[in-house]
Every structure is written in structure tokens, then in C-alpha cells.
Chain A
């Protein structure tokens, strides 16, 4: 693989990984060209295209496009599944990953990618092993962060305010399917008024819906409805 790009539907680059040496100028040019090309394609079109002397493999997850450039003899379908495995890894790590997770924790997205792909080749395909490596690193981090005078546990992406886990999941679900940027989803962190930002529509959409999660969200919604009915009564 020569490079991997993640960009949003608005064409904003969220992650770039280059496995061949290129100048910054060339990288910007390639990015611009590819983002344009891929965004112009219609949903039903095939996931592969020829571009210069490379093959582009891309797939869209919610509001994000994952786009890989591979060489002539590389396998397109397995590249498509590299993308999927990476999304699974992100999803498992962040828990229902959405674009915002990748924006605010971009460094984590890079770390996970490095454990999975190295030098443009798959390093470790086992989801367990990759996550184990990352979690070990996180343990090391937590250990050192306790020692620090400035514990910053208040991550703006942390919507799991203690005591309200049900609420969190439910809202996420509503957001995913109704496309309503409700004021109710204002995150607990005050400095990040997502709703005031028009671009945020769809940003919190989960990239990846495992059936378990859908099912889970359905149950939670029913439960929440039941609760509110009780209250009304």
C-alpha cells in the first residue's frame, strides 16, 4: 500500500498515512485530487478505480471516506477488508467510533493504525492482539498520568457521564437515525458546543453499526420510552 487517507464528506482530511516518500507539496496535490475524485462518485459505483498508475480502493463509513492507494499487483478485495478491519479496531477501541472521536483523538487513530499496518503491509490481523498492544500502552499512560499534577480525565468525547450510560447510548442512536442535531445531545463538556457548528451534522454518526449495537440500542430505546411513559403516568 502506498498511502491511506481518511476524509469527511465535506472533503476535510482527517488522517493521512504515507508509506512512500513524497514531498509535502506532492502529498497535498494528491490529496486534493483524490478527495475530489472519490467524492464525485456515486454510492452504487464500485469501490475501485484506476488513478495514475495506482489502484484506489475506497469505502465510506457514515460521514467518513477511507481511501487506500495500492499497486498494480496488490489485491483490491483484501484491501477493502483492511479498511474494514481498521474501522472495527477503531470501533472497538473508542466504542461506537464516530468521526469526532478521530478528530479529537487523532493521535490514537495513528497509534492504532501503526499497530495494524506497518510500512504499508499488514502487521497483525488479529483484532485481539492489536487491541492488546494498544491497551498495554494505555495502561502505561494511565500509570504515568496519575503521577502527573494535571490529570485531565475530562475528555470532550467522553459522553459517558457517570450515572447516565443509558442516556448516552440512546442519544447516539437517535442521532444516527433521525439526523436531528438536537440540543439534547449537547455533550457534558461545555467548551465543545458541537451543535453550534453546522459541519457537525453527521459527525457523531457511528462509522460502523454492528448488529449487536443496533439491537442493543433498540432495547435501550424501548426501555427509555417505557421509563418516560411511566413518568408521564
Chain B
């Protein structure tokens, strides 16, 4: 069949599309589109009423422009008009436009709903179909409110056409997904279940989707669907490939329906009725048998459809997890797919086997495929398939094969894609810990991990190895020896230095007897890495040194020399400097006994869930890992339990109070209760959370901001500590704002620093000048800050006022948007009606006009509206608009570079509780911004 023009084409549309396609550049395209938009706008606004065809054509053009990725802000009304056309073709385009664009303009929803209501009541199946499609496509809450009661009636009515039933079922499904509370369960549900018996397979297909979704939330209500689904499935499975006529797809009978029925059955446990259960088992066996039959076609569609059903059947078998025979068969089938030439099948087999591995019946069967999976890891060319192989290895791992799997994963890690390295590292770390019989193996594995992929070893991993070494006496000596050897490498990863530093600091004495690892050698080895490390690691090493002073009195002098050196005592980093000072002092004043007490070996960590596991769960999303993990945890005794990297201290160094303050610095409001300076986690935490970063905007800041658009004075922000007030005045393009900071507490604020933050864009268009304020604000006092403002050119963003100060021991950080908006530079202009309309016409270029239709947020009071328009800065012109209910305003925006004339018109619609706001100015960006600002006010 050649490409025939179906229905009626729209010549104008085709010409426009080919024009766009011929545009050589993005600019040319935009130019052509703007031309078209202007044309359409004038057509829609013209005095002559458009006929249906033209309206359809223009709406279709707008739709095309939108689909190209441009914004469309008009035409919705015309599209809504098309809905009530009697011509099918116009109605259809109207509905299409609404389906695609309605999210952005939901104000019209009432009109749309009306049109839909009419079509649903029309009894014309084609029109009903269109209306239902539209509801299903938009699926908004308003639509659910309007139709969720009606659609079930249409669905189960005896005289509804099949095609309408199908649409109604899926339409209801969509509404249920968006607003389940609005779809009432009722006696219709039992009749919907009986649609599973319908003669029309299309109706059954649609109904099965609906029932599956409803049954997930209301399993009791839809329990009867199980036996119906089983008998329907059994009829399909046993049918010959020609029985179902057009529902047979490449020799596979009704594959979509089969998949959906199998999916529905996964909402329930295995059927209790032995007859139903037996029938289902027969079905599943039949599906598994078919997989072994020679294919009826060489087409990939045939095998895909057949295997889609097979995989869904296997999912059901795994879900029931009660028929060992079926589970093992499923596993064997997947095993065959593991070596299939189709990449897609190998991928799915790996994925499906992952879930099989967690069943006690099939775990052993899955394990027999280990060699194939390892091979996949090495040879698959597609990273997503390799990823699945890693997942499966992880899932099939137990004590018997852990050593092999961990070794394979480690060797794969050397060449693994960067995107999945971190995850592999986590998995290796977890497996090594969980299945470690011999902890020397565990230590070796983790050190290897750091060597191979140090950058991907997260903090959780190295915290964990330290926790385990500290909790297990039998591995401490080995760990000390191994890290000592690993540190000998000329280049080693910083994570290794951290682990090494910590472990030698605790257990260096266990290997000190060997002259090759004498205390001094240990110290020199660590100190040789010191200068290459980051601040947190250096801080950790300093703690190690003071521990050495306790462990090995003979190196005390050397270490004191190091601590005393300028690079430590006068280090620019305050944490390092403080540690050096304190440790040096401690080593000189404290007696051996005190040193031994203070620097005692770390106590064992409390047992908690492994933080690595938590991290992996977070990475993969809770749904995917949890079940598997939990299932596995039950089976294997949790060897270690996992403490988190608690901020416990290496050294319970008695700390003078300023130091506690110092650490509290980064941790906003509640400073951790008395944390002594320590190595490891705490430090990292403290420094990662740098106090110089501005806080996110305070909640409610947007509302407050909007309140200041039409007024100049008031309270901008208030919390329990601080109140910020504003007073401002503007003249032409200049302004001055006074900001008042009030301390509501009785305690002094320290380091009080307000900062004005402007983006680069804003900085170019708005110049702000201010003087710093006194950094101390007494309790109950108020300080003021003046800001001089100049508007250089028009702008859209607003500056952000960030305030940082210290209150008591805590650091406070507040950000609010400062209400300096473009309309502040308005000068009102009075003019007569005639002048107004003349100017209005002069600004008729489509870019100059911006319009917005919006719902009233406040009561529609004329006087309040007037006050707001005057407060906005423009003049309020009386007796200009022929309709006295409308408001008209005019003014000039002053900037240093230009003066921009602005006209505005606000048309309230009391009945619909809506406004239409139109702005015309000589500059597009100005129209845009003013319209945004003003439309927020009503």
C-alpha cells in the first residue's frame, strides 16, 4: 500500500513543517516560528470569526511548535472550542492539543471537563472514545474528581461497546494511579472481575491491567480474579496458534494477555483450591515445555513474545516459591539462556537468576552456573550485561564459593567500567566480611581493594575494616604486619595511609619485636607519607604519633621534634595546629601512667548493622536489595555485626573547651555533645560541612518575597533568634533600602556577617552597594544596614541576602531573597483613553505582549486590586477600558540604560474566579518579568 493521504491533510501545516525543516540554523527556525506565532495570534484575535478548519489548522501548528520544544502560551481557548465541534476531525485535534499541553494551563480544566462530559453522554462510541482517551492522557486530579464516579458505570454497563469498555478500563486505571482516593470501590468491582471471562480478548487485556493495579491495593476485594485468571490463562496456553486469530502474534497466542494474567497472579499467594492450583501448575509446566520445543518461526518477534511469557511465568514461580520442581526447571531454563546468542536473553537470564538465587529451593541450582557467570563477567561486551553478572555473583555467593567469587570480582575490578566500580567495591567489601572464615583473608581482600580501586573505596569501607580489626584480637597482629608491608610501596593510596596509620597506632607494638618493623621504622614509614596527604589524614596521623609516644617511649624525642617543628606548630590549618600543640604538651607534662590511660587501646565497637550494607541499599534503592539481603542475612550467621564509624575517640585526650567549640563550628545548630578531637569520621564530617556555604533559602521566603512586590516596608524574615525588617524607597532608576537586623535573644551574636549574593547575570543589571555591619549584635539590640541600589538594565532574578553568625556555641546560617524587583523602578504615567489605545496598538508585536491567565488566589475585591496595581508602581487609569470591570495601568520602568514604557490590562472573571493579565512593553523580557510578578499578587 503506497503512502496515501489519509483523511484530510492540512496543506498549510505541511508547508509550515517543510519550511521549518528547511531552516538552516536554529535562529532561522526561531524566526520562522515567531512569524508563525504572530500570524496565528493575529488570526485568533482578528474580528472575523475563524471557521472550524482554520482553527484546527492553527491549533495543530501550535501543537507542532510545542512538540519542537518551544513554549506555547496561547491557543488553549481555541483548542477547547474545537472540543465542542461536531466535526470529528476538529474534535480530535482539539483533544490531542489538550492531552499534550494541558498540564501547563490547567485553568481551563472546567471548560474541558464540560466538553468531555458532553461527549461521554453522547452515546456516540467514537466521541466517547476520544473523551476517554483524553481523560487517560491528562489524568489530573480535577478530572478524577469529575469522572471517577462515571467511568465505572460506563465500564460495566451492558450496552457499552467493546472498544469503549477497553478505553474506560484503562482510563479508570490511570485515574486510580493518580488519585486512588477518588475512585470508589463498589459493586462494580465484581462485575469488572467478570470481564476476565469476556469473549473479546481486547476487553480482557484492558480489564486485566485494571484488575492487577486495583488488586495490589485491595487484594481481598479482587480475590475471585485468581481462579478466573487461571482458567483464562489455561485456555490460552492450550490453544492452537491459529485459534485466537488476530490475537496470535507471530505464532504465540495472546502474549500480551498471558503476561498480564501472570502478572495479576503475582499479586496473590499460590491458590488454595487444589483444583485451581493444579491447573495453574499445568499451565506453568506447559509454558516451560514450550520453551524446549523447536521455534515455529525464525523471527525474533516470535522468540521474544514466547520468552516474554516464559520470563513472566518464571517470575510467578519465584513469587510463589513453593514448587521446588518448577523452581529447578526454571533455573535450568535460565541456565540455557545464559549462553544464548541473543544479548537480550543473556541479560534477562542473569537478572532473573538473581531472584532465583534467594530461594532456598533453587539456590544450589543457581550456584552450578558460576563458571558461566564468571565467564560473562570477562567476555560480555555490553557493560549493562556485565553489571547483571556482578549482581548475580553477589546474589549466589555463600560460604562455599565466597573466596572464588571475591577473587573474580577483584580481578574484574582492575578493568571494570568506572560507572560500576564503586558498587563492586561495596559488594566485595560486604562479601569478604560476611563470609570470612579466616580474618586474615578479609584483611588481605580489603587492602587489595584499596590498592586496586582506592578512589572508589568509600569511607564506610575503611571504617569497617578498622572496626573489625579492633573487635577481633586474633587478626590484629596480622593486620599490623600486612599494612606495614603494604605501606612500603612507593605509591600507595591515601585510604591505605589512613588504615595503616590507625592500625599501627593501635597495634604497632605487636610487630615492633621484629627489627624490620621497629618503632622508629614504623614512624618513619608513616611520616614519609605525611606530606602527600590531605588535612584529615594528617590529623589522623598526628593522633597515631601521640599513640606511638605511649606505645614506644624510645621514639618520644623524635616525635616531639616533629610536633615541635614550625610546619606543625604553626600550621595554617587550625585543626592540625591545635593537635600539634595539644599532643606536644601532653607528651611533655603527662606521666607514663596518665599517658597509658589517656591513650589506651580502643574499646571494641558496639555491634550494629554494617554501614556498607546501608550504603549499598541506598545506592540501589530499597526495593531491589532489601529482600535479598534480608533473606541472606537469615541464612548466614552475621559474623560481626557492624558498628558504624562512631565518633568514638582514638584518644580520650582531655580537651580544653575552645577545642570543643572549634569542632562544633561546622556542625550546624545542635553541636554534638562534647566530642573530643579524634581521628576518623568525625573530622571528615566536620570539615566537609564548610561554614562558608550559604544556607538554602529559608522556608516561606518565597511568600514573603511576593508580599513585598507591591509594598516597600515590613518584616521580611523572622525566626526565634532573628528578625529582619525592611524600609525602602525608590526614585527613577535609583533606590535605597534599610535592612534592620534585630537580635531577639538575650545573648550576643558573634561574627555577624550579612552578605548580598547576586548571580553574574544579575550583577550586570543591578548594582548594589553596602557597608559591612558591626560583627557583634548585643542581645535585644537592632542594627541597620543601608543598601544603595541602581537599576542598570532590566533584570529578572532577585539578590539573596545571606546572614551568618554564631549564637551561643552554634553557627547560624540564614538566606532570604531580597525583594528588589523590576517594578520598583516604575514611574506612573497618566494618560487619556485615546493615547492609551494608540500606544497599545503600537506595541502589537507578538514579542512585546505577554499574557497570563490564572486563578484568583485571594478574594476578588476591586478596591484591593486597585491598591495593588498602584502599589505595583504603575498609574491606574480610570475610564479607559470600555468594560468598567477591567483595570488598566501605565508607567515607565527607569533603568540607567533605557526607559521602557509599560501598559497593562487586567480582566477579572468573577464567575470563573480567574484573571487574565496582559502586558505590553517595548521589551520582551520586561513584559515577561512584570507579568510574572504581578500575576502572583491576585
Contacts and interface: CB of A to CB of B under 8 A. Distances in A.
A163 interface: no
A200 B387 CA distance: 37
Interface string B13-38: 01101100110000000000000000
Interface in A103-153: 103-108, 110-111, 114, 118-129, 133, 136-138, 140-142, 144-145, 148, 150-153
Contacts of B1: 92, 95-96
Given A144-B87, A148-B53, A157-B5, A125 B257 contact: yes
Contacts of A120: 174
Interface string B121-159: 000001001001100110110000000000000000000
Given A75-B311, A142-B7, A156 B305 contact: no
B347 A46 contact: yes
Contacts of B166: 118, 123-124
Contact of B311 (A47, A77, A158, A196): A77
Interface string B307-336: 111011000000000000000000000000
A137 B92 CA distance: 9
Contacts of A152: 8-11, 14
B88 A137 contact: yes
B858 interface: no
Contact of A126 (B53, B202, B209): B202
A197 B11 CA distance: 20
Interface string A56-86: 0000000000000000110111101110110
Contacts of B304: 77-78, 80-81, 84
Interface stretch (B377-385, B494-502, B881-889, B923-931): B377-385
Contacts of A75: 259, 263, 308, 311-312
B205 A123 contact: yes
B54 to A, nearest CB: 9
A85 B246 CA distance: 12
A156 to B, nearest CB: 5
Contacts of B17: 103-104
Interface stretch (A15-23, A176-184, A222-230): A15-23
Contacts of B205: 122-125
B133 A77 contact: no
Contact of A121 (B9, B133, B209, B246): B209
Contacts of B96: 107, 110-111
B763 interface: no
Interface string B325-364: 0000000000000000001101110000000000000000
B844 interface: no
A105 B308 CA distance: 32
Contact of B308 (A78, A94, A96, A141): A78
Interface residues of A, number: 87
A159 B209 contact: no
Nearest to B258: A78
Interface stretch (B63-71, B742-750, B774-782, B811-819): B63-71
Given A84-B301, A145-B7, A126 B201 contact: yes
Contacts of B174: 19, 118-120
Given A46-B343, A140-B126, A158-B5, A197 B21 contact: yes
A67 B384 CA distance: 17
A233 interface: no
Nearest to A82: B256
Contacts of A80: 304, 308, 344
Contacts of A105: 6
B104 interface: yes
A48 B7 contact: no
B206 A121 contact: yes
A122 B167 CA distance: 10
B178 interface: yes
Nearest to B381: A44
A144 to B, nearest CB: 5
Contact of B3 (A24, A47, A160, A199): A160
A94 B136 CA distance: 26
B816 to A, nearest CB: 24
A188 B677 CA distance: 82
A108 to B, nearest CB: 7
B11 A154 contact: yes
In terms of DSSP, what is the predominant structure of the interface of chain B?
A: helix
B87 A155 contact: no
A99 to B, nearest CB: 11
A5 B387 CA distance: 25
Contacts of B202: 123-126, 129
B5 A140 contact: no
Contacts of B247: 125-126
B236 to A, nearest CB: 12
Interface size class on chain B is 35 or more
Contacts of B63: 107
A176 to B, nearest CB: 14
Contacts of A127: 246
Contacts of A122: 205-206, 209, 256, 260
A121 B2 contact: no
Contacts of A44: 343, 381-382
Contacts of B266: 73
A160 B4 contact: yes
A46 B67 contact: no
Interface in A162-188: 165, 168-169
A201 interface: no
B504 interface: no
B256 A125 contact: yes
Contact of A77 (B9, B140, B348, B382): B348
A140 B919 CA distance: 42
A193 B608 CA distance: 71
Given A16-B67, A47-B344, A50-B384, A81 B2 contact: no
Interface string B81-110: 000000111001100100010011000000
B262 to A, nearest CB: 9
Contacts of A93: 6
Interface string B649-692: 00000000000000000000000000000000000000000000
B612 interface: no
A114 B99 CA distance: 11
B171 interface: yes
A204 to B, nearest CB: 10
A39 interface: no
Nearest to A132: B163
Contacts of A108: 6-7
Nearest to A101: B3
A157 B3 contact: yes
Contacts of B249: 81, 85, 125
Question: Top 8 A-B pairs ranked by shortest CB distance?
Answer: A145-B8, A141-B7, A119-B174, A155-B5, A77-B308, A95-B1, A160-B2, A152-B11
Interface of B: 1-11, 14-15, 17-18, 21-22, 53, 60, 63-64, 67, 69, 71, 87-89, 92-93, 96, 100, 103-104, 126, 129, 132-133, 136-137, 139-140, 163, 166-167, 170-171, 173-174, 177-178, 201-202, 205-206, 209, 245-247, 249, 254-257, 259-260, 263, 266, 301, 304-305, 307-309, 311-312, 343-344, 346-348, 381-382, 384-385, 387, 621, 623-624
16 contacts: A21-B139, A24-B104, A28-B69, A42-B381, A46-B347, A78-B256, A81-B305, A82-B256, A107-B63, A118-B133, A118-B167, A119-B171, A123-B170, A141-B88, A153-B5, A196-B22
Given A111-B92, A122-B260, A151-B8, 12 more contacts: A44-B382, A73-B266, A78-B309, A80-B344, A118-B166, A119-B137, A122-B205, A122-B206, A125-B201, A126-B246, A150-B53, A155-B5
Interface of A: 13, 15-16, 19, 21, 23-24, 28, 42, 44-50, 53, 72-73, 75-78, 80-82, 84-85, 92-96, 101, 103-108, 110-111, 114, 118-129, 133, 136-138, 140-142, 144-145, 148, 150-160, 165, 168-169, 189, 191-193, 196-197, 199-200
